[in-house]
Every structure is written in C-alpha cells, then in structure tokens.
Amino acid sequence: MPIYKAPIEDSLFVLNDVLHVERYNNLPGFEDATPDTIEAILGEVGKLAEEVLQPLNEVGDKHGCVWTEGEGFDNTVEVPPGFQEAYDLYSEAGWGSLPFPEEYGGQGLPATLNAAVQEYVSSANMAFGMYPGLTAGAAAALIEHASEEQKQMYVPKMLSGEWSGTMNLTEPHCGTDLGMMRTKAARNDDGTFAISGQKIWISAGEHPMSSNIIHLVLARIEGAPEGVDGISLFICPKFLLDGDGNPGDRNKLSCGSLEHKMGINGNATCVMNYEGATAYLVGEENRGLKAMFVMMNEARLGVGVQGLAQSEVAYQNAADWARERIQGRSISGVKYPDLKADPIIVHPDIRRVLMTIRSFNEAARALVYWTALRSDLHHRSEDEEVRQSANDLMGLLTPVVKGVITDKGFDSTVMAQQVFGGTGYTKDQGVEQFVRDARIAMIYEGANGIQALDLVGRKLPSKGGRAVQAYFKEVGKFCSAHKDDDAMKPYIEPLSKGLADLQAATMWLVQNGVQNPDNAGAASTDYMHLFGLVAFGHMWGMMAKAANDKLADNANGQTKFLENKLLTGKFFMERIMPESSAHLARIQTGCDTMMAMAAEDF
Amino acid sequence: MPIYKAPIEDSLFVLNDVLHVERYNNLPGFEDATPDTIEAILGEVGKLAEEVLQPLNEVGDKHGCVWTEGEGFDNTVEVPPGFQEAYDLYSEAGWGSLPFPEEYGGQGLPATLNAAVQEYVSSANMAFGMYPGLTAGAAAALIEHASEEQKQMYVPKMLSGEWSGTMNLTEPHCGTDLGMMRTKAARNDDGTFAISGQKIWISAGEHPMSSNIIHLVLARIEGAPEGVDGISLFICPKFLLDGDGNPGDRNKLSCGSLEHKMGINGNATCVMNYEGATAYLVGEENRGLKAMFVMMNEARLGVGVQGLAQSEVAYQNAADWARERIQGRSISGVKYPDLKADPIIVHPDIRRVLMTIRSFNEAARALVYWTALRSDLHHRSEDEEVRQSANDLMGLLTPVVKGVITDKGFDSTVMAQQVFGGTGYTKDQGVEQFVRDARIAMIYEGANGIQALDLVGRKLPSKGGRAVQAYFKEVGKFCSAHKDDDAMKPYIEPLSKGLADLQAATMWLVQNGVQNPDNAGAASTDYMHLFGLVAFGHMWGMMAKAANDKLADNANGQTKFLENKLLTGKFFMERIMPESSAHLARIQTGCDTMMAMAAEDF
C-alpha cells in the first residue's frame, strides 16, 4: 500500500522563506494569506489528501470507470467506489473555489497557494484531482470570457462543486492542429446554437458526482472562415437550465464510450457526441481559440503541478522502501551489523537516484510557486508595469513548467520504480501506477514538443525578446549579488555556467532560427530543457540563500531541514546542472542531419 | 493495430559487412553460416515474427494468463489464446535449438546469428519469447554444469520444445542478495533431495504448452554454510521421469499464484511453492551460485536484446504514424500542399525523436552482435589467446549491453509513444504496451544499478584491468587507423572525444574508487552509460567505415540504405555523443554530497 505525506514544511519554506508571500499583502487576497492561515490551509488539504484521496488512488486504478448504455442520451459512467464521497468532501470544504474571485463565489486566495493545494491533491490521487481540476479550468475560462449573466448563471455552482465542467477541443482527426476542427454550430432562431460533432479525450466528460456538467465546446459556426479563425467557444450544459437556473431538460449530448488508457483510470476519459445540442456562445464569434489560449497558461501550470506531484509521491515511496528493504552490504563496510543485511539506502547508487528526484522535486515546487506568483501579480497588481512584467515572465516560464516538469516528473517515477526492483514492476506497492499516471502529463494540454515550440517560436521572439531579456537580467542579477559570498559559491558558479550556456543557445537561435526555422524546431526540446536547468538552478540559488540566511539567524528549530536543503541543492548543482553543455552542443549542430533523410526511409 | 517488419537488411549489414562473420568460418558452426544461409534463416524467423507472433502481442497483453486452483499440486495456468499454436510452430521449426551443440540436439549455429533471431521474436512478442527464452537459459546452464547423464536426459527435449525450463532464484526477502536465501534441500536416502520453500517471479513457471517443465532451483542443503557459499543448484522437474525418461509422477511443487504486473502479461510470472519436491543436484554442492553466474553473461545479453527489440518495434510504429498523421504545417513552409495538413514527419522535433531512437537501435544491434560474436569466439575458438580475449571483452561489455540497452530501449518506447500524442496513451495503437513491456528489462536479470556495479566493481578491476585496457586499445586503434580519412572525420572526432572522457573517468575511478568504494558506487551508473556511448560510437565508426567502403565499391544496389546509415551515424555523433562530458563531470563530483544526508531524512 503506497504512502503519502503532504510536504507542508517544504511548501511553507518556499512560500514564506524564499518567495516571502507576506510581502505582497498589498495585493487583493494576499492580505488573508498570512503565514498562519497558509499553514492551516495546507494542513487541512494535506489531511484530505493523506486520509481520503490517497487511499482511493489504487481503487481508482483497479476499478476504473464503467460506461453503461442508456436510453436516448442517458449513457452513464460510474466512477470508482469512494470517489463520490471524496468529491463531496472536497467540494464542501471549498477546495474548488479557493483562488477564484469572491464575486462568483470564490475565496479570492492567491493562485500561489492554490498551486500547493493542487500539488497535494494530485500527489494523493491524480485521476480524482482531474474532476475538480477540469471544473476549475472551465470556470476560469468563463470568468475571463463569458458575459456577466453567463458568469452569474454558471460559475458559482461550478466553484461549489454542485456542477462540474469540461473542455472539449480534440477531435479524432485533430489534436494539436485545431484549425481542422469539424464540429458544427448551427444558429437557432432564439440566438442559441445547435452543436453537432464528436469530441474525444474529454476528461471528466460524464460522471454522476455533480448534478450538472457544463461542457465548454469549441466548434465552427456555419459559414465561419476556414482554419483557426473560424472557431467559436460555447457553453453546452448536460442539463439545460430552467427559469430558476436549475438543471432542467436533458441536452442532446452523450458520452459515446470511454477511452482505454495506460493510466489515470479513475478519471472518465470520454468520447462525447453532440447531436444538435443547445449551446450558448461565449465571447465573440470566431474568437474561441484565442479565448482558450488566454487561459491555457494557467491550465499548463496545473499540468506542471501534476508532474511534480507524481514525482513527489513516487519519491516518498521509494525513500521509504530504501530505508526498509534490506539487501546486500554497503561497499564501504557493513553499516547495520545487527541486521541480516543493510537497508539499500546505504548504497550510493540508490542515494543518487533519490537525490536526483528530490533535488528535482524541491526545485520544481519552487518554480511552480514562483510562476504562480507571477500569475497573481499579473491578475492582481495595480501597477501596470508590474502586471506586464509578471505576465511576460509567466508566459515565458509556462512551457518550461509544463514541458520540463512533466518530462522530468515522469523520469522520476521510473527511477523511483527502479528502487523497488522486481516489486516495482508488480502492482503490489502501487509504484507502477505512478509511472502510468504521470505519463499522460507529458502529452495532454499540448504535448511537450508543442511546449518547446511555443517557447522558441512564440515566447522567445515575442515583443523583441522582452521577456527573455528580463529573465536573463533577473537571474544574472542574482548571480552577481551573491558571487562573492563563499557560502553561495557551490550554487552561483554552476548557475552562472548554466546561464551562460542558455544565453549562448539563445544567441544561436536568434542567428540561425530566423534564417531557417527548422533550426529552431531542431533545437526546441533541448532549448526547453536547458531553460529548465537554469530555472531550477535559479530556484536552488534562491533556496540556498534563504537557507543560509535562516541558519545564520536562529534557524527556528529547522537546522537539519535547512542543512538538508543546502545538501540537496548542492547535489543538483553537481549532478544535474552539467547537462547544460550537452544541450548546448546538441542545439548548435542544427537541423541539417535530421532533415536530410527522406520521409519514406524512416 | 501495431505493425512490425523484421529489419533483415540491417541485420545482414552488421553480420556481413561490419562483422564479416564469413571470416570466422574456421570456427565450428560458422562454416554453415554462409551469407545465403543467414539470409534464409532470418527470412524464416522474420516471417514467423511478423505473421504469427506479432498479431498475438496485444492478445497476450489483454488476455493475460489465468491461474486456476486445482487438486493437490495441480493448479493450472492458462496462456493467452494462440500461444500454444505459436509455441508449437516455434518449436517445430527448431528455433529453440539453433545455437546449441549438436550432441544435445542443437543445430550448432553461431550465438551471433541467434541474437538476430531472438531480436525479431522479442520485437514481435516479448512475453511469448520469454517462454522459449527461459528454456534456452536453463538448457545452457545444464550444458555448462550438469552431468553427461543429466544432459542427455533433459537437454534434447528442452531444445525441441517438448519440455520447457525455468530459473528459480528470487525469494520474497531476497532478490539481489541471494546469500539470504532460505529454500531448503533435504537429503533423501537415494541421493536425491527434497526441496521446500517459496520462489517468486518465476517466468514461465507454469503453463500447458510443454509436456514437462524443468525447474532449475537454487536452494540450501541442510547444514550448508551461511551466505552465498551454501547455495546449490538443482533440477526439479514438474513431472519426475519414469524409467524410459518420460514424464511420470507429479512432483511436489505447484504454482501458488500469478503476479499482477505492469506488463509482459502474456508471460506467466509465477509464485512457485516447493513442498518436499524431488530434486537432483547439478554440479557440486554449495557451488550453485557460481554455476548460475557463469551462464549469466549470456542471459544478460538476451535481456539486452529485449531492450533493443522493444525499441525497434516502437520505432517502426512511430515512424509509420509520423508519415501518416497529418497535423499542422512545416515551420519552414508547406511541404504537402495537396493535403489538408503536413504529415508530422516534416517537423524537426519529430525527426529528432525518430533519429534518436533509430541511431540507438542500429548501434545497439551492432553492439549486441559484436558481443555475441565474442561469446562464440570464447566458446568455439581453438586458440587459447583468442578465447581469453573474447571472454574478457564479453564480460566487460555484458553489463553495458544489459544496462544501457535496456535503459535506452525503454526511453525509446517512451519517446515513440510521445510521437502518437494522445493516441499513444490509449490502448488503440498498441504503443503503450511497448512501454510497459520494455520496463521489466531494466529490472530483471540483475537490476541496471547492479549491472553498473558489476562493471565498476568486478569487470573493471578484474585481472589488473586487462579487459578494459584491451578494449581501450581496440577502440583507440580504430580511431588512429581512420583519423586521416576525411569521410570518417564526422565519426572519428566525436568518438575520440568520448573515448578520452571514458578514459578520464576510468582514471578517476582508479584513483578515487579504491580509496573510498562509495566513490565507485556513486559513479557507477554514469560510468556505465558513458561506456555505452563509447561502445555505440565505436559501432557507428565501424558501420560508417563499412558503409563508406561499400559505397566506394559498387554499393550492391544499397546506395540509399548506405547513405542513410551514414546520416544516422552522423546524427548519433552530433546529438548523442555530447552526453559524455556531462557523465564525466558528474562522476568527478564523487560521493560526498549524496552520502551526507541521514537515512531518516530522505
């Protein structure tokens, strides 16, 4: 039976000691986020995650969701045992409303804090977390783009969990390339639309846990232009609302079947069939894709959190196993003479694996919170310059958070599984589920190759490179400020080297990517991972500084905790940061070799 | 439905043009392995793989094996539909006897050729291939260690497939550390033994496809010394042989249950219970572990082949999908104006992935054959010096073949899955099965961390470093011989750089690993992968030379094939080889940071 303990002390360290969220108490919502409140909130959600959600994780995987054919549109999907009760607890405690504006029933708390909350939920039960997660994504889209009337009608009941939400983008023949979308919206006489078409891979598309499901659907209005400029966004509820705003008539849409997947079996991944379903336009006609993309940064941050979350829970289980499992003796001499063998944590190669995962988890957590704080600053600051700069940085780092954290998070689960040896391959310890669940995060919400292209093709050149220049300046300033501090040397020197590699790669892209865009494509994934190394290194620099400062102060009873932070950061700098030069070397070889072979020869 | 086509042209290129197996026709068995015979044999097994085994791969995954409780010891295990017929075809065609000595019913053909045969079988259906694979492993152990009478009694029927075999090592509390083994062997009055205990993860431990199952079991004879020096090897057949050598009385052993696993569901992974089962000692008392280890090099090569095999089939499917799936347009301009979108193979990042896998597959295939040829030389040469040198190199490269090829082979399946986007996460295209199946190869037959320790702790220092010195000399000589050849520059320069990094790492290990063995442990996995880069680079150097030579000659109608070899090798040198410096940098940081944290703080 897998274990999970919410890493509250680590979260608090980042929020309070590294990011100093209390310094932002001039922002709306932050005034309530005092250290005490934050600790209380994380304690509460930690309890829910550990005691309710985590015990349902294997249940969800084994039981899965069950589709049953029904009359007319009433095909049903049964969720795993216990999910309904967990959903009710989650909703009643208000976890679905935490970062949303109070005017729509939200609590107005920082997105930064919500990132921590979502990490715990996702570590405990990723498939479960996707139900409220999709609702939050749909609610965010409505808050950003819907009319005031629509918002009042839908959002409060979504935030309370009474209703849930989904996002319908993909069709069988189009995923990344939404311009080829075929789902049609016909105009009804009353100003509503009738949607017809098939959407696939709709997470939480059908389930009995909420009394209505608000589908957000992308479709093409009759006569709209070809391509991405002819796509509109619609609200298409499972039950149409009656005059009192309550679920009334059944809408003409149904779940045609469930996908059979590698993992996240507890979540219902649906084929959705729309057969003249009544729908309401959100925002302007033909601007649907743009509307979706505006809120995609937040959704992608959420997927990055999933990558971190699976890595964290996999780490905890592997560390636990490594302490318990006795096998062989330390090569540097017996360490536990009273036992028949040493616990495998004595072996350097096991520690290398654990430290690799741990040094990733802590940096990824800091980076997620740091990026979420940019989102809060962007949405809540009154200073236009602060808002713009925060938005630039959030946009720049989003593909890094999504792409790198889900890639590396998956690698972590595989490494953690390896610590278990043969047991890790069986279903006995639950660790192989982490691998299967984590795998999806690299794919959905824009496959990681698309994240890399978004970074080099869109975010880098945007506004003359304003965002990336600001980012380099910030990291460079950090290095300059601490380069003469002996205690910071083990962190600053490798970070400076990584930054120099990233700057060289950026320069190479500027010189070669414009002349031949395939050079940019050929460099994209390596560039994204090189960027990730620097971003993690920057976080480790900040964490080392905070740990050193606190140790020099009174450590607040955390001496060991802080010393371990410094050790973990040092490991990152010694063992992970050196990858930067390999990325740079690869980038600089360009696209010629990979583009030379004929398609039919592959 | 996944596809598979046996890569016969690639195999022939390595066997004939790179390794020139015809030059070894003075060795027994090689005189029969003419280019024509090799091509005919590969064509035959390719047909079996493509037409019979591959279509059963998904069936095996979905159906799995079914355990049913029976009377007494007669619990039964049902294999997936079609497996019995496939097993009969495989056996009747003689694939189980190919590399074994003719005196025991084998065909005496080279192990080098058998490696190609096993690659195709494993690409098509890894779970199926394990049934005859385990029989081959058990037969090899008997040929090496059993008495002449035992060999005549068991081996011919195993090689014909009439009987099958298993290896029983692991117990619940001991996998890597076999010294803790508890299974007991009591002496019977007639010189036989009675075995009692439980073994787990016994592949092919019970199934109905053969009329007897010959279990090789490690157990401790009453009164034997503690630890690894008290373990003996036994033959323990499911049915005891009657006076005519035919299966007679049911032995007191049974399959207690099947493991629930992440993958290879078509193979029966059994818990085996021995309850006073009659058994026959193989070789000397208390020398069982040693006997097992002697034949482990070959078994580990076989697992390396599985890593290559899954990578190859995953590649073929990803390449096929990338040519067919249209989505988006090339960033350097529309390439297929007649289509609604370009096939995704136009995108450099997709090509980067495909070329990464392809450049690995081709190098891994060459390395497997090269190493298998050392095994043939070791077993078949009449020249003592040749035998010894071949054995040194085979021993040195075996952990590299097993550890690196299964690690990278798994990575390949994950990358191939990514090419499919969301489809790759569903069970629709069969590609997620490759990921789940490939995962086990990193774990069994010695987890890859153990392979790395075997390399740095055992193979490197053995006999004063004789093997590694000989290897460096061979690769160095290759570099020197071709360094002035302009056509070879793109291969020789990166290979020389990689070799220099590997030599520097080796020197570091010599200086620091002896003084503190934890430094060797901390370096082991990076060292193994650095070794793998050089070994692959060496293979690419040899393949490039062969391709250049053949192109300069008359190319034999293979101009495009050979040019693509050169391109693929160039990609490897540009994009994969640069990792060597990151490995070296990591190795040189030593063990201090990772050993510093207290076990309870992980």
What pairs with residue B195 in β-bridges? B185, B277
**Domain count across chain B:** 1
Catalytic residue among A222, A445, A579, A600: A445
How many C-beta atoms lie closer than 10 Å to residue B535's C-beta? 26
Q: Name the minimum distance, in Å, from the CA of B43 to any CA of chain A.
A: 21
How far is C-alpha B200 from the chain's CA centre?
Answer: 21
What is the β-pairing status of strands A66-68 and A76-78? antiparallel
A vs B: CB pairs below 8 A: 253
Q: Which of B174, B518, B568 sits opposite A348 (nearest CB)?
A: B518
pLDDT digits (tens, 9 = 90+) for A383-424: 999 999 999 999 999 999 999 999 999 999 999 999 999 999
Measure the CA–CA gap between B348 and A286, rounded to whole angstroms.
Answer: 31
Distances (CA, A) of B556 to A148, A303, A537, B365, B550: 74, 52, 53, 22, 8
pLDDT digits (tens, 9 = 90+) for A419-438: 999 999 999 999 999 999 99
Q: Name the minimum distance, in Å, from the CA of A3 to any CA of chain B.
A: 14
Q: What is the DSSP letter of A92?
A: H
Residue A271 lies in a domain: no
Q: Are the CB atoms for A186 and A222 separated by under 8 Å?
A: yes
Residue A520 lies in a domain: yes
Q: Which of B200, B410, B521 sits opposite A347 (nearest CB)?
A: B521
Which of A14, A22, A8 shows the shortest CA–CA distance to A544?
A14
Sort out which chain A residues have CB atoms less than 8 A from B259's CB and list them.
426
> CB B424 to CB A443 under 8 A?
yes
Measure the CA–CA gap between A42 and A40, rounded to whole angstroms.
Answer: 6
Q: Which of B201, B261, B331 sits opposite A517 (nearest CB)?
A: B331
State mean pLDDT over A163-186: 95
Position B365 scores a pLDDT of 98
State mean pLDDT over A56-73: 98
Measure the CA–CA gap between B266 and B437, rounded to whole angstroms.
Answer: 10
pLDDT value at A38 more than 90: yes
Residue A109 lies in a domain: no
**Which residues contact residue B219 at a Cβ distance below 8 angstroms, ignoring those fewer than 6 apart?**
B181, B183, B184, B185, B193, B195, B197, B231, B232, B234, B274, B279, B288
Measure the CA–CA gap between B370 and B218, rounded to whole angstroms.
Answer: 31
Residue B266 lies in a domain: no
How many C-beta atoms lie closer than 10 Å to residue B428's C-beta? 15
> CB B327 to CB A442 under 8 A?
no
Measure the CA–CA gap between A215 and B566, rounded to whole angstroms.
Answer: 52
Angle at A592 between CA A591 and CA A596, to 5 degrees: 120
Q: Which of A328, A425, A594 sits opposite B440 (nearest CB)?
A: A425
Question: Both tokens of residue A213?
Answer: 């499901």
Position B240 scores a pLDDT of 98
Measure the CA–CA gap between A112 and B151, rounded to whole angstroms.
Answer: 69
Measure the CA–CA gap between A326 and A335, rounded to whole angstroms.
Answer: 11
Q: Name the minimum distance, in Å, from the CA of B351 to any CA of chain A.
A: 6
Measure the CA–CA gap between A54 and A312, rounded to whole angstroms.
Answer: 13
* Closest residue on chain B to A595 (Cα): B348
Which of A370, A357, A354, A237 shows the shortest CA–CA distance to A308?
A357
Could you tell me the residue range of the domain that residue B501 belongs to?
451-595
Position A458 scores a pLDDT of 95
pLDDT value at A295 more than 80: no
Please give the ipTM for the structure prediction: 0.98
State mean pLDDT over A162-190: 95
> CB A418 to CB B447 under 8 A?
yes
How far is C-alpha A589 from the chain's CA centre?
Answer: 31
pLDDT digits (tens, 9 = 90+) for A201-226: 999 999 999 999 999 999 999 999 99
> CB B355 to CB A444 under 8 A?
no
Q: Are the CB atoms for B269 and B181 separated by under 8 Å?
A: no
Residue A310 lies in a domain: no
Residue A420 lies in a domain: no
Catalytic residue among B259, B385, B445, B579: B445
Position B290 scores a pLDDT of 87
Measure the CA–CA gap between B569 and B14, rounded to whole angstroms.
Answer: 14
Sort out which chain B residues have CB atoms less than 8 A from A58's CB and list them.
none
What pairs with residue A214 in β-bridges? A165, A237
Helix (H, G, I), strand (E, B) or coil at A281: strand
Residue B482 lies in a domain: yes
Question: Both tokens of residue A145?
Answer: 């783009």
Distances (CA, A) of B84 to B261, B270, B300: 22, 18, 26
* Closest residue on chain B to A180 (Cα): B340
Position B367 scores a pLDDT of 98
Sort out which chain B residues have CB atoms less than 8 A from A261's CB and list them.
425-427, 432
Q: Are the CB atoms for A354 and A322 separated by under 8 Å?
A: yes
Determine the number of helices (DSSP H) and then strands (DSSP E) in chain B: 20, 11
Position A350 scores a pLDDT of 98
* Closest residue on chain B to A321 (Cα): B602
Q: Name the minimum distance, in Å, from the CA of A189 to any CA of chain B.
A: 33
> CB B174 to CB A351 under 8 A?
no
Position A296 scores a pLDDT of 81
Q: Name the minimum distance, in Å, from the CA of A263 to any CA of chain B.
A: 8
pLDDT value at A294 more than 80: no
Distances (CA, A) of B249 to A143, B121, B212, B278, B478: 76, 34, 11, 11, 59
> CB A582 to CB B578 under 8 A?
yes
How far is C-alpha B313 from the chain's CA centre?
Answer: 15
> CB B260 to CB A426 under 8 A?
yes
Any alpha helices (H) in A338-488, and if so which ranges?
348-380, 384-419, 422-425, 431-441, 448-453, 462-482
What is the β-pairing status of strands A184-187 and B253-258? unpaired
Sort out which chain A residues have CB atoms less than 8 A from B504's CB and list them.
none
Measure the CA–CA gap between B223 and B220, rounded to whole angstroms.
Answer: 8
What is the β-pairing status of strands B253-258 and B269-282? antiparallel
> CB B349 to CB A453 under 8 A?
yes
Burial of B477 (0-12, 13-18, 19+ CB in 10 A): exposed
Position A196 scores a pLDDT of 98
Q: Which of B177, B200, B595 sits opposite A327 (nearest CB)?
A: B177
Q: What is the DSSP letter of A236?
A: E
Position A556 scores a pLDDT of 84
Measure the CA–CA gap between B361 and A596, rounded to whole angstroms.
Answer: 19
pLDDT value at A587 more than 90: yes
Which of B428, B263, B264, B415 shows the shortest CA–CA distance to A439?
B415
**Which residues contact residue A336 at a Cβ distance below 8 angstroms, ignoring those fewer than 6 apart?**
A326, A342, A343, A346
Q: Which of A439, A574, A585 sits opposite B425 (nearest CB)?
A: A439
Position A447 scores a pLDDT of 97
**Which residues contact residue B197 at a Cβ distance below 8 angstroms, ignoring those fewer than 6 apart?**
B171, B182, B183, B184, B219, B274
A312 catalytic, yes or no?
no
Position B422 scores a pLDDT of 96
pLDDT value at A512 more than 80: yes
Position B1 scores a pLDDT of 86
> CB A524 to CB B348 under 8 A?
yes
Question: Both tokens of residue A100?
Answer: 């949303």
Residue B561 lies in a domain: yes
Residues of chain B with pLDDT under 70: none
> CB B444 to CB A422 under 8 A?
yes
Distances (CA, A) of B437 to A409, A521, B331, B425: 20, 31, 35, 14
How many C-beta atoms lie closer than 10 Å to residue A106's C-beta? 21
